[in-house]
């Protein structure tokens, strides 16, 4: 289904959902591995990337929960 059809359907239903924040669409890259770098430094950066990804997932869940509480669409 294309975006125009979704927008038309939402308008017909009387529900206009807010756009998903761009940040929530982002994919987190793995930490770069540089030759000769200590493994602990790579692991530390990888854990930071995981922390960012987990925080983003938490924001996604909050965004969805806010929508479902506002519109009562949770089943």
pLDDT tens string 10-39: 556 677 778 888 888 999 999 999 999 999
Q: Would you state the pLDDT for residue 19? A: 86
pTM of the predicted structure, to 2 decimals: 0.67
C-beta of residue 45 within 8 angstroms of C-beta of residue 64: no
Length of the chain: 75
56 has pLDDT over 70:
yes
What is the residue whose two structure tokens read 């770098």? 37
């Amino acid at each position: 289904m294309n975006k125009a059809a979704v927008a038309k359907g939402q308008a017909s239903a009387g529900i206009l959902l807010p756009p998903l924040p761009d940040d929530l669409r982002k994919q987190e890259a793995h930490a770069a591995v540089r030759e000769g770098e200590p493994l602990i430094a790579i692991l530390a950066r990888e854990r930071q990337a995981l922390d960012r990804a987990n925080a983003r997932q938490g924001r996604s869940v909050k965004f969805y929960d806010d929508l479902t509480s506002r519109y009562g669409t949770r089943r």
